Amino acid sequence: MQDSTTMEASARPDIAILDRSDLAHALSTGWSDFRRAPGIGLLFASVYVLGGWFLTFISGGFAAQTIILALGFPLVGPFAAVGLYETSRRIEEGEPLDLRQILGVVWREKDRQIPWAGAIIVIYFLFYSFLAHMIFALFMGLSVMTNISSSLEVFLTPNGLAMIAVELIVGAILGFVLFALTVFSLPLMVDKEIDFMTAMLLSFQAVRENLGVMTLWALFIAVSVVLAMIPLYLGLLVVLPVLGHATWHLYRRALIAPE
């Protein structure tokens, strides 16, 4: 990878049409990359695991509070993903897997476009948090005040069940939009010299043109991450590196440099 101070603007890549075989290939190569450099994968995944433990500790295990505190994660998350993308790029190019050099690439991203993408993600999460509180107020605002951390039966009322359904639907829609904006834009910004708005729009367009396949990929990621979080977040130590490496390889098939 070139030094960020000398890189010229990259040409806009072309969007390819994907199918399920591309997902299978991405997962296979993602697993292969993790096995090739497990220590690097575990290092970057530990950022999320340790962060999850910390947030759970300071929130007293209260799930809603943990989610609110996790709003700061997008500031760190993209940089952790950069390390996984750079590792896959080096394996792909046959370059040495030097941890110091990989960390150097992660550090240099602070002067490129990734921080802007992180800021957009934070603003997006703040908007979702506000919207989630508004939905809660609309459905539960007239209910008898209850400590929802200890009196979960409030969610089993008709209003409570309706609120959960709406929260899930709205969360799924907003989550998929964020996924579409970032799934290819983050590796693209690592790989090429391109501004964050163009990268996000390209990512969204690529997802739109491969809607069925990318919806399947989004569902796979969501289910995998949720299941990996159940055993004290420990499953993330394997799931996140594999998904990170796989995302790089899927990006390489989805966005092709013009000839």
pLDDT in tens, 82-98: 899 999 999 999 999 99
Q: What is the mean pLDDT of residues 185-194?
A: 90
Show the DSSP H helices in the chain as ranges.
20-36, 38-58, 63-69, 73-93, 99-108, 114-140, 158-182, 185-191, 196-209, 211-229, 236-254
155 φ/ψ angles, rounded to the nearest 5 degrees: -80, -10
- Asked whether residue 5 carries a pLDDT value surpassing 60, the answer given is no
Q: What is the mean pLDDT of residues 45-72?
A: 62
CB of 70 closer than 8 Å to CB of 56:
no
Show the DSSP H helices in 141-235 as ranges.
158-182, 185-191, 196-209, 211-229
Give the range of the structural domain holding residue 228, as residue numbers without chain letter. 18-253
Whether residue 182 is contained in a domain is answered as yes
pLDDT at 35: 96
Whether residue 3 is contained in a domain is answered as no
Whether residue 259 is contained in a domain is answered as no
Beta bridge partners of 14: 256
pLDDT tens figures, 111-166 = 888 888 878 887 887 787 788 778 878 877 665 555 555 556 666 777 778 888 88
228 φ/ψ angles, rounded to the nearest 5 degrees: -70, -25
Cβ neighbours around 227 below 10 Å, total = 11
Q: How confident is the model at residue 60 (pLDDT cuts 50, 70, 90)?
A: low
Whether residue 9 is contained in a domain is answered as no
pLDDT at 11: 78
Counting beta carbons within 10 angstroms of the beta carbon of residue 69, is it exposed (0 to 12), middle (13 to 18) or buried (19 or more)? middle
- Asked whether residue 204 carries a pLDDT value surpassing 80, the answer given is yes
Q: How confident is the model at residue 259 (pLDDT cuts 50, 70, 90)?
A: low
Whether residue 228 is contained in a domain is answered as yes
Q: How confident is the model at residue 68 (pLDDT cuts 50, 70, 90)?
A: very low
Whether residue 121 is contained in a domain is answered as yes
pLDDT at 2: 43
* Whole-structure pTM value: 0.81
pLDDT tens figures, 207-252 = 999 999 999 999 999 888 888 888 788 888 999 999 999 999 999 9
pLDDT at 106: 84
Number of domains in the chain: 1
pLDDT tens figures, 13-52 = 899 999 999 999 999 999 999 999 999 999 988 888 887 7
pLDDT at 4: 44
Whether residue 12 is contained in a domain is answered as no
pLDDT tens figures, 117-131 = 878 887 887 787 788
Whether residue 4 is contained in a domain is answered as no
